Each structure stands twice: as C-alpha cells, then as structure tokens.
Structure 1
C-alpha cells in the first residue's frame, strides 16, 4: 500500500505531499487541473521512464518520493537485491535532472531503474483511460488468464519453464550440428587449417616465458660472466676475500669466547654466516661453469619466440588462449567429423525432451482451462452488474506450437447483445463496452493479482448514466481487496470514496501551479460532487443530488463488507 507521495517541482506542482490510506481514494478536479500528474509521479516510483520535460519551468530538478508499506514480497526482493530493509516501510525516491540525468534510491541506497522495476514489479497496477485498448490485444489474453489462475509462478508453470529451457538447449545443439554438407565440409577444412597452423608451432604451456628468460640470459652472457666472476672473486677467490676475512673473525671470536662464554651466540652467528657465504660462493662458481655464450642457440631461441608471438598475434590471444583455442577447435572438429553419430544421439535426446515438454504443456493447459472457466464466470458476473446482462464473454483456446508460453493460444470472445455470435473482442466491442469488460476483468483479478495498489486513471471513460453508479460499486468492491486510487469525472463513482482529493489549478504571482486538497467527509465533499453534477454553478438541486449519492454509496458499504468477509472465509476453508 502507498502511504505517502511527495512531489517537488514536478510538472505544474511546485511542492505537494499527499497521504493515502486503505480502501478507495478518488481524485477529482477540472479537466487539465493536473490529476494525472500524481499518477505519472507514482509511475516513476515503480520504475517508469523519466523525461526531463516533467521538470517545472525555472527548476533544475524534479523530485518524487514515496513511502510504501513493506510487504513480505517486498522484503524478500530487498534481501535478494542486497538493499537496506528499514522495517515497516520502503522509501523510494526519483530525481530527474534538467540534462536528462536522474537518480533512483531505495531506502537511501542508490539503485538503477532496472533494479527498481524488479523490486516494484506487480506491486502497483496502473490502468489508464486507454487500458481497455490493451484488452483488445490478443497477445495479452494468455497472461491475463495466467494471472487470474495464479499460474504465473506456480509449480506447473515452473515445471513447464524447466522443460522448455531443456528443449531449447537441445535445439541449439542440433542447430550447431546442422547446415548442408557443403557448409559442413568447408567448416571442417577451415578447422583443419587452423589446427595444422597451431600444430606446426606446437607450443607448450609457459614456453614463451621460459624462452624469454633464456634469451635474456644468452644475450647478456658476456656481461653476466664479468658480473658473476667479480662477485665470486670478492666473496671467495681473491686474497683478502670476504670468506677469508670471515674465517679470521670466527677464529678471533672463538678465542674471546674462551675468556667470556657470553660471546657464544655471536660466535655461532659468525659460523652460520661463514657457512652461508661459502654456499653462495659455490653457487656463483657453478653458475659460471654452466653459463654459455652460444650465438647459434640465441638464434634458435629468437626464431622460436618469433613463431610463438606471430601465432598469438594472429589469434589475438596470449599463449594460454591459443592453447585453449586449439582444444576448442579439436572438439568442434571431432563433433563435425562424427556429426552423424552425434546428431543421432542429440535427436534421441530431443525426442525424450519433446515428450516431456508436451506433457508439461498439457498439464499447464488443463490448469489454464480451469482458470478460464472461472474467469468467464467472474467476468460475466461483472458485466451483469454493469448493465450488460445480455452480453456474453468466453475464453477460447487453440493449440499452438510449443513456445516459452506453452502450447496455448488464447482469445477473448464477446457478444454485447443476445442472439449475436461470439466474435473476437477487438472486432465487436465499442469503446464503452471495452471499458466495462476491462472493469469486470479488474474486479475478477482483484482476489488473485499480486498488486497491493490499483490505480484507475479515468478508466471509467465512455461510461455514464445509471451504469456509472454500478462502476463506482465495482471499484469500491475492488478496494475491499487492495488499496485503490481512482481519477474520475463521474460523481457516481466519487461518492463511493473512503477519501477524496481535489486537484485545483491556479495562478500565483503569474505562475501556474496545481495544488492537492483533501476534502472532509462533510460539506466540502458534498459541494465537490455537486460541482461534478452541475458544473460551475452549484445549485440547491445539485447539492441534494450529491447528498443522495453519498447516502446511496453508504448503503452499499455493508453488503460489500459482508461479501468480502464471505470470500475471505471461503479462501480460508479452501
């Protein structure tokens, strides 16, 4: 549930903070007053696209903030995304800069819009005045059935998804083994050429590093011999070398030790130093003995290094990458050479997976047909309440090629009048009829949808007369399951509100701005309904009609609550 919405420098709103409660909140006002601005701001908080033209003229930045109730679903998503979890509420903030650069924050942590979308997915259901147009799109019908049947993340849906993923993977293997014989032969020749090119050099792991070290040693052999020879001479071989001097020091320390035993550790340290120096001198001597000055070997090393480096440049990879590519080439070559046998294996695997996928898809179809029957009944009940008792609605199924959505193609069929043939909804429903079907669909989804807040942005467009009160009752019923925010021009709908907000546009110091006013349950609300009924001049008759609408709406509350309790008891017993 949305608790608070705060806007600053957003469109024509300079600054506003609006509190929302449970149940039905309606937003009314003259056309162009800025009612939809609040809905646009809410859309940003659930990950909608931000445009710099929403920034109020003269400001550098627009800011939208919202406080949402922390549900268990939101808590789990916060943990999954590694975001702070601050208890009972989730704070979301969007800022939009003049240069198009914006920021999004969740509980104070900077996030990408993608993360925000995943966090708030399905939490807020926004239905605009053209929402019924989406209902006319056959591509949306299957997802609506799945939502109604609570199949979106069900066990049967997960089983199907796993089967489809396995089948898609094996299809990719078959595709890799496909192609005509000419293409395969050309690929085999190319792989063999590349393999032979690498094999001619036949590099070993780490060979380039070892050769580089050997090259440096061979190229510097004269200088190395002089340096190492000098080091050996100073350490051990010349008269007065370090080893000779250290030997004398050990002898003197030994004589001193006889006079003072506390010198024993010092004498032992000198002995250790003498031993280590002797070993170092021997190592220098051995190095000199092994040091070669071989121009022909240097030439061999240079040629070998050059061949390895050319190979690495050609394949745009270090030696380790070339060796890995050789292994990959060998594997692909073996697969293509023996592709007939490999293809037979993969096709046998695919046949098993197709059977498993068809079984999983059939299970999903069974559940969808059950959901479709319940959806048909629920929508028909809603249409009957919306003064379309003679209308018929049906969910038609067709078998479809296996795809990520299963093996079903679903179409909504509709007939507005008795005796007429059911036809696709898009071809026979007028705008007003489609709006009523959409409202009936929303009412049907109220129990099964995961959204905690539904928004109707003039979704009652094209509806009027006696049906308007029924629409109000239907939206009021939906608010018994979740928070509902409704922008409306119909006083019959507004009369059913638990809270009423009026949006007004005016001028302050030559600047246009919209303000949000919460109306009290008495005179303010009655006068607003009267304005909606009569226009600019509020007559006594309009006030009386407004009071009658409010009384009628209050009479609807008790039956509606009783039905809500009954549905809750049925869900608990189920």
Structure 2
C-alpha cells in the first residue's frame, strides 16, 4: 500500500506531502489543476518513462519520495533480495532529477538503478487509464491475467519445469549426435591406431628401461673383458688367491718363537683370503649378469625404436603412449556404443516432449474452462455499467510452444449485437473502454490485492447511474486493498473513503499546484462544484449531500 508521497520541485509543485489510506482514495480538481502531475511524480519515483523535463523552473533539482507498507510475503521482497537491498515492512523509494537531466535513485537508502525501480513497481502499483498500455489493454499480458484469474500458478510452475527438462533432453540428444558423428568420421583411424598400439602394448617407463638396457649391452663387451682379466688374477693358478693361500700355508708351518710373532700376519692373511673369495664371487656374478647374445641387443633396439617411432607418429611422449592408447580405445568404445546411447537419449527426449505436451494440453483445457468463466463474470459486470448489449470474449488461439504453453490469449469485444468483434483497445470508445476495463479489473482482482491500483479518469464519458455503478465497483476494489482514482465524476468522488482536492494558485507571480485533504463540509463543497461548476448553488449542495 502507498502510504506517503513527498514531492519537491517537480513541475508546478514546490513541496507537497501526501498521506494515503487503504480503501478508495479520490483526487479531484479543475482541469489543468495538476492532477496529472501527481501521477507523473509517482511514475518518476517508480522508474517509469514519462516527461523529459520534470524539474520546476528555477530549481536545481526535483525529488520524489514514496513510502510503501509491505505485508509479509509480498512479491517485492524477492526483487529486493536479488538486488541486495535491505528489507523491512516499510519500503522507501527516492529519486532525484537534476536540472541538467541526471537521475539518481535510492531504495531503502541503498543506491540503485532505474531497472530495480521498474522491477519493484511491477509489484507495487497498477496504473489503468483509457490510453494505458501498461495495464489491461496490452494483449501481451492477457494470458497471465487469465492464468491468475484461474489460479493456474501450480500448473504453470509444473509446465515450466517440464519445458526446461524437454529442452535439456533435446540439447543432450543434439550434442550426442554431433559428438558421435565426429567420432564416426574417424572410426577407421581409431580402429587402426588402437590395433597398432595394442600390438606393441607399450608400458609407462619402458622407454627409459630399454634405453638403459641397450646402453649396458653395447658397453658390456669391453667391460666384460676387463672383468675376466680381474677374475683370472684372483682365481687362476698363481693368481692372487692361490698365492695368498700358499703364503698362509708356509707361515702356518713355522714353529717356535717365530710362530708367535706371525699370529697377527696369519690372521690378516686369513681375513684377506675371505675377502678375496667374496670379491671373486661378486665378479663372477657380474660376469653372469652381463652375459647376452647379439639377438637380445637387436630385439631390445627394435622395441625401443618402435616405441619412439609411435611416440613421434602420435605426437606424444613415449611414456604417454599407453595413456594415449586408452584414450583412443575409449573413443572407439563410444562409437561401438553409440547406437544404444542415441537410442536411450532419443527415448528420453521423446518422453520429455510427451510429458510437456500432455501438461500443456491440460493447461490449455484449464484455460478454456477459465475463459468461459471469465467471459460470464465480465458480462455480469457489464450489465450494471449499462453495457448489457456488449459482448466480451476471451479468445484462445494456437501459438508457438513455450515454457507457459502454446496458447495465445486475447480479450476481444463487440460493443453491440452484430457488430464486428476486435481487440479491446481498438473497438471500444472512450467511455465504453473505461467500463470494459473496470469490469475486467473487478473480475480479475477477486478480493484483496497487495498492489495499489490507480485509475486515471477511467470514468470519463459516463455519468448518472452508470457513473454511480463505476464508483461502487471502484470502492469494491478498494476493500481490503488500496485504490487511487483521478476523477471528474461527482458520483465517483462521493463514493471515495478519502478525498483530496488538487488546486492551482498563482502566488507572487508563480503558479503552483497544491493538494488538500478534505473534511466533511469541504467534500460537500467540492462535490457540489463538480455538479454545478464554479458557482455552487443551493441545489448543487443538496445534491452533493445526497450523493455523499
């Protein structure tokens, strides 16, 4: 609900503070008094596009502040959360327009863009007038209005989910087809390469091991001859081992005092013989390990060169050949499994499409049922508005499938029996259009609303009992909510629960607009003025009292 509106230096207003109430609020005044300025000011703070020049002549800047009360669960909270703006039960919008055209906006003292203001305004205010394309006259919004009337929110949420699932399944199928098509183009290459790599079956680290083995075998002959000589020195007749053994025997044969002197020498020779034996065994083991045939060297070199050749061919490191072979094998397995994979994805896509179409058909059926109910409800509202001969129809046609189904919805009217039906905005005259809009709004609202509804001279062109019927429906719309009406109709003004008069005065050569809340006696005078004009007669006052 709009609780307060503060306007400073906007057009003909220097400073104006307004406090609004729940129910039906009416604003009246002479033509040109400035009623439209209030709407322009409200539209400015809500981010709507309007007049380019708003700043009052001579002022450095103009400023508008609007304060709204938000009940728990109000849709505006989602917009505030997404924009990262502090939340509370009170929402304060402020926007400044400098004389050079720059505009700056704040929401709850947090700087924001015009887009945020407009997103909030969608959940705060509805403006309806005879030439308003933001409201009921815009055919693009007729489907959502019908859905709201029918309470189809849960069905719409379900259908949006099915649409996303359908799109995802179709996307996955298309991606799989492209990927498999690309793989099939290289199937022959994959099969040849996998067979070639599997035949060689390279292992990680094998290149280094073969290279080391090859170097060992290439240098083994020269090294082996040196080792053989060393072994012959150790073990051959008159070699080191035999010479040491013979010396030990001679020393052990020595007796007498000399034997005691040779103990240490004998022990050293015994130790040396043991070490010589160990060295001989180690040299002999090395010789056995270095034994190879020329065929072994040839086989080692062939495998080493084969591995390195494939590495160059596939442009990978030798150690990465095994991993590359596994990658190619995986691609080949995908080709081999492609028929089954595509079949599963095609089945999933068909199932998702069938689920979406079934839900869309159910939603369409619900819309057709709701359309008949809405038509009957609007026709029932038109009779008291003196349009019992008019025909209102909610027309559903097939459109392009989307997340909200494939129904195109349009409100069409025929103002008289036998007259051609057409779009609401094109067929009805000014007075007829206002009554169509009001009847529609009464039916679509269906109770309390969290949105402040503003009707700008929607009663233009009607009077008498019809104007009274318009006023009663506007008052009904205000029950449990808030309605602001700019009106020239005394019947409508008399039904308002809160009344403001807009006046234009010239003070010190400066023209300014003011807005004054009216008490009981002042309301009588204002309604009487609306009946009789500038000169308020006794009869006009009596009529005003009767209306009030």
TM-score (norm 2): 0.65
Q: Distance in 1 between matches of 2:523 and 2:479?
A: 21
Q: Deviations over 1:14-41 (max 9, x none)?
A: 0000111111111111111110211222
Equivalent position of 1:85 in the other structure: 87
Contact 1:150 1:449 in 2 (8 A): no
* Other-structure match for 2:400: 401
- Aligned match of 1:54: 54
Matches of 1:72 and 1:349, distance apart in 2? 42
2:536 equivalent in structure 1: 538
CA contact (8 A) 1:50 1:96 kept: no
Residue aligning to 1:461? 460
Matched, 1:102 2:103: yes
Q: CA deviation at 1:116?
A: 3.0
- Please list, as runs of the form range in 1=range in 2, the aligned pairs for 1:22-61 lying within 5 A after superposition: 22-49=22-49, 53-61=53-61
Distance change in 2, residues 1:336/1:114 (3 Å): farther
Q: Within 1, Cα distance between the matches of 2:375 and 2:528?
A: 38
Q: What's the secondary structure of 2:535's corresponding residue? A: coil
**C-alpha distance in 2, partners of 1:146/1:174?**
33
- Hey, what's the Cα distance between the residues in 1 that align with 2:117 and 2:334? 45
Alignment of structure 1 residues 123-522 onto 2, 5 Å? 123-131=124-132, 135=136, 137-151=138-152, 154-171=153-170, 347-418=346-417, 425=424, 428-447=427-446, 450-522=449-521
The structure whose Rg is larger is 2
Distance 1:420 1:56, change over 3 A: closer
TM-score (norm 1): 0.63
SS in 2 for 1:94: strand
Rounded Cα–Cα distance in structure 2 between residues aligned with 1:413 and 1:432 = 16
Aligned-pair distance for 1:12? Answer: 0.9
User: For residues 460 and 337 of structure 1, what CA distance do their matches in structure 2 show?
Assistant: 74
Q: For the Cα contact (< 8 Å) 2:156–2:404, is it kept in 1?
A: no
Q: Is the 8 A contact 1:13 1:515 kept in 2?
A: yes
- Count of aligned positions: 404
Secondary structure of the structure 1 residue equivalent to 2:520: coil
In the alignment, structure 2 segments of 5+ residues that lack a partner are: 190-329
2:230 match: none
Question: Does the CA-based 8 Å contact 1:160-1:361 persist in structure 2?
Answer: yes
Moved more, 154-163 or 366-375: 366-375
Structure 2 counterpart SS, 1:400: strand
> What's the secondary structure of 1:506's corresponding residue?
strand
Partner of 2:21: 21
Alpha carbons of structure 1 residues 544 and 415: separation in structure 2 relative to 1, 3 Å: same
Residue aligning to 1:64: 64
CA contact (8 A) 1:527 1:543 kept: yes
Distance in 1 between residues matched to 2:158 and 2:29, nearest whole Å: 49
C-alpha contact (below 8 Å) 1:51/1:96 kept by paired residues: no
| SS of residue in 2 equivalent to 1:53 | coil
CA displacement, residues 152-184 of structure 1 (integer Å, 9 cap, x when unaligned): xx22111111122233345556777899xxxx9
Q: Which residue of 2 aligns with 1:549?
A: 547
Q: Structure 2 CA distance, aligned partners of 1:80 and 1:137?
A: 27
